[in-house]
Amino acid sequence: MPLVEPVPLVGVHELGPVHFIAIGGAGMSGIAAAYADAGVPVSGSDQADSAALRQLRERGIEVHVGHDAANLGEAATVVVSSAIREGNVELAEARRRGLRVWHRSAALGALMLGHRGVAITGTHGKTTTTGMTAQLLAELDTDPSYVIGSPLAATGRSSHIGTGEAFVVEADESDGSFLQYPAEVVAVTNIEADHLDNWGTAEHYFDGFALLCRQPLVRTVVLSADDQSAEALRPLVEGDGRRVITVGESARADVRLTDLVVDQPAARATLVAHDDAGPLQLSVPGRYNLHNAAVGYAIGRALGLPGHALRAAAEAFRGTHRRFSFVGEINGARIYDDYAHHPTEVRALLTAARPIAGQGRLVALFQPHLFTRTRDFAGAFGAALALADEVVVLDVYPAREDPIAGVTGELVADAARSAGARVTYVADKRHAPGVLARVLRPGDLALTIGAGDVTAVGPATMAQVMK
């Protein structure tokens, strides 16, 4: 799949009626809802019904299940994601009619026009950091607009059109579409080779972040002081009217975290900036969440907000959907669900979950996402999963990709065994709820992990046990 090329933007009210293909996707549904909130006529379609489609219908959006050329109706603009192939009948009809066809990043970029844009990107932590930042600004009564790849736990919504100046977006680096956003502030949480099916090499992937930070409108860049690759951006982007703010535990950080407590369900630390210092108390666990909050704090300061108020607001964040989300409890075992789909994310998740498991076992049920990622990182996934006491591995969730010969979830299962884990491989996801039910013991903490449809396994396991 080629990288997305930026296009010239026009205001959303110049687009006419807008039709979204695959409107129920995590990246698409929030943008579609934001367009409807902005008063633009919106319609959309997806191959299967879902909770996202039902929520969009409740907001008055015309949604179709199944793809058909007739679904376009009177649309003047059609929005697609990178997952939509040229053979899609609705996209083919849009091309035939000569309609404006935009990637979803252009649709989001158009919403940002006239605002102080904030683009949050990085290999890991984008969604949570974007959610934290949006909530921090909202808690300070600035009423920001935002579009996030997952709903906020506090509101159940992944988008909002506010009255304030700031527009906060999760900027997807996977396909290069983050270059489309008219951002004044850019934050890079970290950089670790990923999405090489699009970028080709780790060097090209890194260069994409550098290009983003050097976009003409960018005035502030927030970087991790603890991530070697992110910090390597500093000399490349500083100057020409741009300033850099670094965050992290490093003594070099402009916004520094000290005295971290990460073995509790609610992490806390002391945050020190040049003109502000004091406690940073969260309601979510993990060292990585403290780092995410520090990024949100730095963004707030770049927008002119007071440090003490930003620190105080951090505790209000309750997470986003599918980020250490509690599913339920069965027979004394707790089940959580998480979107982690890169080895570093899986390692950070299991590290954060270990103290919360207490005396119980940590059980990881993992679904690899994408054949290319499984091929490239099977060994690293296995090593990360070995942090759990019991591991269940499913087959690969293909998403936008075609199969690759010899690449299955068993590669990850074998790697986890080699790393010393107790592993069960389940080739057919339909059997996963029964396997998880048999594995669980009272006191266990189980995590269903991955970016695919593994999220359904926890509820299905509970339903099976409670029959």
Q: Which of 90, 93, 121, 127 is catalytic?
A: 127
Indicate the pairing of strand 145-147 with strand 166-170.
Answer: parallel
Beta bridge pairs of residue 225 = none
Q: What CA–CA distance (Å, rounded) separates 199 from 295? A: 26
Mutual orientation of helices 26-37 and 104-112 as an angle, nearest 10°?
40
**Which residue matches tokens 């950089």?**
191
Q: What residues contact 296, with CB distance under 8 A and at least 6 apart?
A: 129, 132, 133, 136, 310, 314
Active site residue 127: yes
- The response to whether 126 counts as a known ligand-binding position is yes
- The response to whether 201 counts as a known ligand-binding position is no
Between the CA atoms of 37, 147, 200 and 400, what dihedral angle is there, to the nearest 10 degrees?
A: -60
Burial of 264 (0-12, 13-18, 19+ CB in 10 A): exposed
Other Cβ atoms within 10 Å of 438 Cβ, number: 10
Beta bridge pairs of residue 375 = none
Active site residue 448: no
- The response to whether 351 counts as a known ligand-binding position is no
- The response to whether 156 counts as a known ligand-binding position is no
Q: Which of 139, 170, 184, 401 is catalytic?
A: 170
- The response to whether 122 counts as a known ligand-binding position is yes
- The response to whether 124 counts as a known ligand-binding position is yes
- The response to whether 278 counts as a known ligand-binding position is no
Measured CA to CA in angstroms, residue 139 lies from 30, 32, 135, 301, 310 at distances of 21, 25, 6, 14, 8
Q: Which of 90, 93, 121, 126 is catalytic?
A: 126
Question: If we measure between CA atoms, which residue out of 109, 57, 104 comes closest to residue 77?
Answer: 104
Active site residue 258: no
Which are the catalytic amino acids? 126-127, 170
For the annotated binding site for ATP, the residues are: 122-128
For the annotated binding site, the residues are: 122-128
